[in-house]
Chain A
Amino acid sequence: MMQTRMDPRVALLATLVATLLVSAPALALQAGSGHDYGGLELSGNLAVHGDVVHTMDGPPIRDGLVLIRDGRITYVGPAADRMHTADMVVLRGAVVTPGLVDAHATLGLTGITNQPGDQDQLDRSAPAQPELRALDAYNARDPLVAWVRGHGTTTVHTGHAPGALISGQTMIVKLRGDTVDEAVLVPEAMVAATLGDGGRAQGEGKAPGTRAKSVAMLRGELVAAADYAAKRAAKPDATDRDLRKEALARVLTGELPLLVTAHRHQDILGALRVAEEFDLRLVLDGAADAPSLIDELRAAEVPVLVHPSMMRTGDASGEKANASFETAAILNREGLPFALQTGFEGYVPKVRVLLFEAAIAARFGLPFREALESVTLAPARILGIEDRVGSLEVGKDGDLAIFDGDPFEYRTHCLAVVIDGKLLSNEAR
C-alpha cells in the first residue's frame, strides 16, 4: 500500500510539527478555521524551503529550496547549494508542491449560494451555444475561488458546464485578482459539449431527445460551421458574421479542442467517431466507462479528464453507475494520458477540492507521484500550459503550495499558497 512508498513517509517523518515561517512580516497560522476568505497579498521575492520539494521535474528534493523573483521561478534545488538572499521573504514547510492545476471545473460560474442568481454555467434556451464565453461569466470574487485556492489549487480550467449538447466555451484562470482580466491565463480554451443523458434537452419534444439525435445535431453544427468557414474564406463580405459558427470553426481548425463530457461507453465512442470524422482535437471529460474502452482510447490518442474520484454514482440517469475510485489508477496503469478534475456539482459540496479527489485516487491505487502529477503537470500538458505551470522549474510561474505533511493525508494541512510569487493564502486548511 501507499504507506510503504517513500515520498509521503519521508515527508511525514521529516515534520512532526507544522511550521510555516515567514520572516517579514511574521504571520500566525490558524488551523482549519476556514471562515476568512480574504487573502493576504504579500508581494516580493520569495525563498521557499521544503523538507521535501516535489518539483514534478525529476525526483523529489530533500531539504529543497525554490526561489521566486518577479513572479517567476529562478532556482529549484537543494537548499545547501544556494541559500536565499537577504531581500527575500522566507516560507518554510514540510512539503512543497507546484500549485495544483484543476483540469476541469465550473468554478466562478457556479457560485457559492447555488441560487439562480449566481449559477451561470448553463443557459438552456438552445441546445448548441458555442459562442458563450466563460470570460463573460467568471466571478473572481466568489468565495469558493478563495476556498479552493486555500487548498492548493492555483490554476483552473473552468467554464460552461455539462448539461447541454454544446453549453459554451471554457477558459483557464489563475486564482488571482478581483477581476477576470487579472485572473485569465487563456481566455478561450475549449468548447464544451455533452453526449448521453446529460446532454439531452429538458422538456418533451425538445431536441436532442436521444443519443443518436445528439450526435446528429453535433455533426450538423460542425458541418454548418465548416460550410460557413469556407464561405467566409472565399467571400468575407458576402457572408454575415455568425458568432456561433465562428466558435465551432475554431474547433474544426484544431485551434480549440472539443471537450466532450460522456460517461457511458456508447457516448464515449460517439465522441471518438465525431472527432475522427471532423479531425477534431478531442478531450474526454468524465468518462466513467473509460476503463472498458482502453484500446479505443489508446488508438484515438485522446486525453481523459477523469471524473472526480468521489463523484456520486447514483444519479437518476444511471450513467455514472460504473464510476470507480480506481478509474484514474486503471488509466495510469494502461499508460493513457489523463488528469484529475473537480467537475460540476449541482448541490453540496458546491465545489470539490482537487487535493481531496487526488487523495482518494491515491488511496485506491494511483501511486503517490502519479497522483500528484495528475493534478499538476498532467493537466498542464493536456491544457497546453505546461510552459507556465504544472511543475517547479526555472522560468515557470512562481505558483506553489506548502503543506505540513503528506499533501494527501486527511490530517495534514495546506499552509500557504503562492501564485506568481504572491502569498495569496496563509490560512492552514
Chain B
Amino acid sequence: MRSVRRTSLPGRLAPGLLTLAVLAMGAVALAAQDEASESSRVRAFIRARVIPVVGDPIEDGVVLVEGGKLTAVGPRGQVAVPIDAEIVDLPGKTLMPGLICTHSHIGEPWAADGSEPIQPDVRTYDAINVRDALIQRAQAGGVTTVNIMSGSGHLMSGQTTYVKLRDGRTIDDLALRHPDGRVMGGMKMANGTNSQDDGGKFPGTRGKSAALVREAFVAAQEYQRKLAAAADDPEKDAPDRDLGAEALIEIMRGERIVHHHTHRHDDILTVLRLSTEFGFDVVLHHVSDGWMVADEIAAAGAMVSAIMIDSPGGKLEAMNLSPTTPAVLEQAGVVVGVHTDDPINDSRLLLRSAGMAVRAGMTERGALESVTLAGAKMLGLQDRIGSLEPGKDADLVVLSGHPLSVYALVEQTWVDGELVFDIQREDDRLSAYGGPGATNATTPTFCCFEDRRDR
C-alpha cells in the first residue's frame, strides 16, 4: 500500500498532524498486511462498468488481478471469482486501464544542459526526482505510466524514461526496464523556435537545426560503419566508445523511439523527412498545426501525441493551434494520443484533454484510446499496458462516472495491482484537490522495495 508520506504540512492545525500520525501507523499495519498477502492472492474488482478499451464496455464487469497482472476480464457470470479472492466492490463506478501520459515533465527531469544543442548521451533517468509531489498528483489523475522527458530547448535534449507511477523510493522503483535490464525510454527531440538560439552552438534557423541533426545521425552512421569494419577485420581498430552515437544507433535500429516536439506544419514535415532519411520511428508531439498536414502524417505512418490547449497562441508556432487536431488526425487514420506536458497541463486532468478532443470532434472510443492504448503503442508497450486484457499489467483507474465527463472523479489508481491513490485517504485527497502541503515533496518511510522492480 502507500508507503510515502509528506515531509511536512505547513498551515495545518494540530488535529491534522495527529491524523497524519494515525495514518502513518495505519500505513505500517497495512504494509504488513500487504506483505503477508503479497501478490499470490487474487483480487477481484466487481460490479463496475468496465471499459477494457479493446472491445466494448462491460456494464457489470469482473476484473481479476493476481501477482500484479490481469488474469481475467469479463461480464459477471462469465468470470469465476475465487472464493478466497479479496473483493474490491465498485457498484456504480467505472473501471478502466491506468492512463498513459506520453509527454510529461513531472519529477524535475532536466537532462541536457546549455552546452550543446544535441546531447543524446544524457539520460533523464539520472535526473528524475521520484519524491516530487507531481508524481502523487499524476497518480491522483489516474495516470499509471509516464514518458518523462526533459524540455524542448535542445534539438536533442536526452533520453526519456518510461516509468510506472508506483509508490517508490528511488527511480529504480519506478523505471521500466527491457528484459536485458536496460532502462526503457525514448529520445527527446525538438525543432522550431524553442530549440533555436542566436549565437553559440545552438542553431539560429530551421535550416541549421535540421543540418545539425543530420550531421549527428551521419556521424553515428560513420561510427557504426567503423565498428562493423573493425569487427570484420582484426587489423582495424575499433573507434573509441561514444555514448551519444550508441544512443543514435539505437534510434536508427528502431530500439529507441524518437519523441519529437514540433508545432508548425513545416516543422512537422521536416521531422517526417528526417525520420525517413535515417529510418527512425517517431512520435510527433504537440503538433499545433497537425490538422493542416494530417494526410502527410498518415502517409508517413507516424503516431501523434497531441496537446490540448484552451486557446491558440501564446507563442508564434501555436497561433494556428486547433482543438480539432486529434479529430482530424483520427479521421486520417493516424494513431492519436493526448498528453499533459505537465506542468503545461495538470496531470490530474489528463482525462480532460481526452474529453476536450471529443468536444472538437474526436470519437469517444478514439479519445479513450488516446490516453491508454494509443499511448502504449507510442512507448512500444502495447503488449503490456493500455487495455484490460489477461496477461497485461494490473494498472487500473476507478472513476465515479463516465471518463470523459467533467464530473467524473478519479477515486482510485492501481499500479501493478497495488493501490497507489485512494481519494478516501487524506493525503491522497490533498494531492487530488490541492491546498496547503499539496506540493510538498514526499519522503519514503519504509524499506523493502527490492522486490518491486519492474515485475
Contact = CB atoms under 8 A, between A and B. Distances in A.
B313 A350 contact: yes
B7 interface: no
B398 to A, nearest CB: 14
Interface string B312-347: 111110111011100100000000000000011010
Given A349-B309, A410-B352, A411-B358, A322 B314 contact: no
Interface in A375-429: 408-413
A359 interface: yes
B433 interface: yes
B361 A32 contact: yes
Contact of B322 (A33, A363, A411): A33
Contact of B320 (A35, A312, A352): A35
B436 A326 contact: no
B207 interface: no
Given A114-B313, A147-B311, A322-B438, 10 more contacts: A31-B360, A32-B361, A34-B312, A34-B324, A35-B322, A113-B316, A318-B439, A359-B406, A362-B406, A364-B433
Contacts of A360: 349, 352, 406
B311 A351 contact: yes
Contact of A413 (B320, B359, B432): B359
B310 interface: yes
A114 B434 CA distance: 29
B407 A3 contact: yes
A111 to B, nearest CB: 8
Interface string A353-370: 100100110111000000
B436 A322 contact: yes
A258 B407 CA distance: 36
A2 interface: yes
A409 B406 contact: yes
Contacts of A349: 309-311, 314
A347 B359 contact: no
Contact of A324 (B323, B344, B361, B433): B433
Contacts of A318: 439
Interface string B419-455: 0000000000000111110110000000000000000
A363 B349 CA distance: 11
B310 A353 contact: yes
A251 B359 CA distance: 44
Nearest to A34: B322
B48 to A, nearest CB: 16
B136 to A, nearest CB: 13
Given A1-B400, A411-B355, A112 B313 contact: yes
Nearest to A31: B361
A144 interface: yes
B439 A321 contact: yes
A108 B315 CA distance: 16
A410 B324 contact: no
B314 A347 contact: yes
Contacts of B249: none
Given A3-B401, A291-B435, A323-B434, A147 B409 contact: no
A188 interface: no
A148 interface: yes
Nearest to A292: B11
B356 interface: yes
Interface of A: 1-3, 8, 31-35, 111-115, 143-144, 147-148, 289, 291-292, 310, 312-314, 318, 321-326, 345, 347-353, 356, 359-360, 362-364, 408-413
Contacts of A353: 310-311
B312 A147 contact: yes
Interface string B348-368: 110010011011110000000
B405 interface: yes
Main secondary structure of the interface of B (DSSP, over half): loop
A310 B236 CA distance: 61
B361 A144 contact: no
B58 interface: no
B404 interface: yes
A292 B439 CA distance: 16
Contact of A144 (B313, B355, B433): B313
A326 B434 contact: yes
Contacts of A323: 434
A409 B405 contact: yes
A84 B320 CA distance: 40
A3 B432 CA distance: 19
A322 B359 contact: no
Contact of B407 (A2, A289, A345): A2
Contacts of B322: 33-35
Interface in B275-309: 309
Nearest to A352: B310
A55 to B, nearest CB: 23
Contacts of A115: 316
Q: Which 10 A-B residue pairs are closest in the complex by CB-CB distance?
A: A410-B355, A112-B313, A348-B314, A324-B434, A350-B314, A32-B360, A349-B310, A324-B435, A2-B407, A349-B311
Contacts of A8: 407
B318 A348 contact: yes
A412 B436 CA distance: 33
Given A143-B312, A147-B312, A314-B439, A34 B323 contact: yes
A112 B312 contact: yes
B420 to A, nearest CB: 20
Interface in B355-400: 355-356, 358-361, 400
B311 A410 contact: no
Contacts of A31: 360-361
B26 to A, nearest CB: 25
A3 B433 CA distance: 19
Most buried by A among B316, B344, B360: B360
Contact of A1 (B318, B358, B409): B409
B319 A113 contact: yes
A322 B9 CA distance: 11
Nearest to A144: B311
Given A32-B359, A143-B312, A352-B311, A112 B406 contact: no
A29 B67 CA distance: 52
11 contacts: A1-B409, A31-B360, A347-B314, A348-B315, A351-B311, A362-B406, A362-B407, A363-B407, A363-B409, A408-B406, A410-B355
A410 B400 contact: no
A35 B319 CA distance: 10
A215 B315 CA distance: 35
